[in-house]
Amino acid sequence: MLGNEILEKAYRLTNKNATTFLDGNSTNIYKDLNTAYGHRILDILRVRVDHNASIANCTTDLISTVGLVEGDNGYNGEYSFPSDLLRPVRVEVSYDTGAKKKCKIYDNALNAGTEYDTDYISDNFSESEPYVDFARNSFKIRPLKTTAGNITKGIYIEYEKRQADFSETTEPSEIEKNLQDILAYDLAEMEILMHTDKYSTTKINVFRDKKQEAEQRFLRFYKQRLGNSKKMTFNYISYA
């Protein structure tokens, strides 16, 4: 469903029009609609059986720490996440032009030593068994690349991505087409909450029952979706 079709369904659910629905400002309405879209994406990630059903990936350079100062990307092995990342799934790294190795995940809270001493990190982590730590919207690669020269596309990341906003002429493509009406119910609910005094108790109760049916259908689909329906986006675009 295109954005304008979702909005029109929300009008029908509430018996309103462009002037009387919410604040009558289409810019605000589409902001609300995309907020609901984001919440539904989080619902999908929460309930689905195949947690890797829709994965984005990208590469970035493994940066030499030579000459870096605090605040630089790659300083102390720390890199910013891709801008559309919701949840990291997998990180691989290569310290030369050879094959990448999957990073094991570790929690630096369990590291009894220091996270800021190059010699200590080099002594306790090996390029043959790299590790990654996720923290403060970034990730740290261990061990560090302490020799001169960056490795082009030396880091590979797979992640659950944040959805892109849609408009009146585009659709919420991260939601199955047959279930996109859930957003019309979400938007209609915002209207009812904003103008509760305009709706009878009977109307509100009937609406809640129908919205619950739509929501149960939506969640049931993603809970039961087959695990072999994986969709990966191979873009190999560096974000460095």
Q: How confident is the model at residue 100 (pLDDT cuts 50, 70, 90)?
A: very high
Is the same domain home to 100 and 36? no
For the chain, what percent of residues have pLDDT higher than 70?
91
Average pLDDT over residues 105-112: 84
Is the same domain home to 28 and 75? no
The residue among 172 and 49 whose pLDDT is bigger is: 172
Q: Is the pLDDT of residue 230 over 90?
A: no
Is the same domain home to 119 and 133? yes
- Best CA proximity match to 170, nearest among 32, 53, 6, 47: 6
Determine contact, residues 46/39, Cβ cutoff 8 Å: no
Is the same domain home to 130 and 82? yes
pTM of the model: 0.80
Mean confidence (pLDDT) of the chain: 91
What are the residues whose beta carbons fall under 8 Å from the beta carbon of 49, sequence distance 6 or more? 223, 224, 225, 227
Q: What residues make up the domain containing 90? A: 54-161+231-238
Is the same domain home to 182 and 118? no
pLDDT of residue 181: 97
Is the same domain home to 36 and 59? no
Q: Is the pLDDT of residue 235 over 60?
A: no
Phi, psi for 160 (deg, rounded to 5): -75, 125
Hey, what are 229's tokens?
Answer: 């329906």
For the chain, what percent of residues have pLDDT higher than 90?
80
Number of domains forming the structure of the chain: 2
Is the same domain home to 107 and 182? no
Q: Is the pLDDT of residue 208 over 50?
A: yes
Is the same domain home to 58 and 155? yes
Is the same domain home to 156 and 114? yes
pLDDT of residue 55: 85
Q: Taking the chain, what is the end-to-end CA distance rounded to the nearest angstrom?
A: 35
Is the same domain home to 14 and 75? no
Q: Is the pLDDT of residue 10 over 70?
A: yes
Q: Is the pLDDT of residue 240 over 70?
A: no
Cis peptide leading into residue 130 (ω within 30°): no
What are the residues whose beta carbons fall under 8 Å from the beta carbon of 229, sequence distance 6 or more? 50, 53
